A and B are shown apart, each in its own frame.
Chain A
Amino acid sequence: GEDVEQSLFLSVREGDSSVINCTYTDSSSTYLYWYKQEPGAGLQLLTYIFSNMDMKQDQRLTVLLNKKDKHLSLRIADTQTGDSAIYFCAEESGGSNYKLTFGKGTLLTVNP
């Protein structure tokens, strides 16, 4: 079955890089996602990567995928206080409903 694990907390200083790690189990996942959730808000899709890629860069965000180890990471360059939020990794299952399986989320705290 699907399972997604991620570390629960990360604290960085403003201007540093943040790296959030995630492991997943479903080797048939076609896409893997990173979402951001601010307090009291819904989910905002940050970026995604197709399973046949190993890296994707989008402005300050870099996603690395190691398919052999089923490891995904999100790097945020020049982290700002506005980046403080919970970040969720999610895998998309195959089959007919393309459901997302989320990790428990990583709370990123950015200190001035």
Chain B
Amino acid sequence: DAGVTQSPTHLIKTRGQQVTLRCSPISGHKSVSWYQQVLGQGPQFIFQYYEKEERGRGNFPDRFSARQFPNYSSELNVNALLLGDSALYLCASSPQESPIQNTEAFFGQGTRLTVV
């Protein structure tokens, strides 16, 4: 079985541009969460989606948005990129939304975004 797949693996954008990152969860997983990991820091929660609905949002500006599709894949969009948005963006998928969801969650390898 394939694990959590994220694309692209790396990309470079210019300040002010927009970017879309993609995540394909493990087959059968319905919950997707997004995290931002700035160099030297731990991951920070951005969004969680379950059954195509937003279930949680972290302390990120409205420039960040996401959605989940009927096949449970997800996209994270960031508008008006800033230098500070440079980070590793991680996607995690889980079979369900529940108190045990993180015990069954798997992370993808991440997308390394560099804003210049």
Residues of A at under 8 Å CB distance from B? Answer: 4, 30-31, 33, 41-45, 48, 88, 90, 92, 95-105
Name A95's closest neighbour in chain B (CB-CB). B56
The count of A-to-B residue pairs whose CB atoms sit within 8 angstroms is: 65
**Is there contact, CB below 8 Å, between A92 and B102?**
yes
Q: What's the nearest-Cβ distance from chain B to residue A80, in Å? A: 23
Q: A33-B102, A98-B48 are in contact. Are A43 and B56 (CB under 8 A)?
A: no
B55, A96: Cβ atoms closer than 8 Å: yes
A101: chain B residues within 8 A (beta carbon): 45
Q: How distant is the Cα of A101 from the Cα of B33 in the complex, in angstroms?
A: 13
A30-B33 contact, Cβ under 8 Å, with A41-B109, A97-B56, A102-B44: no
A44 near B101: Cβ-Cβ < 8 Å? no
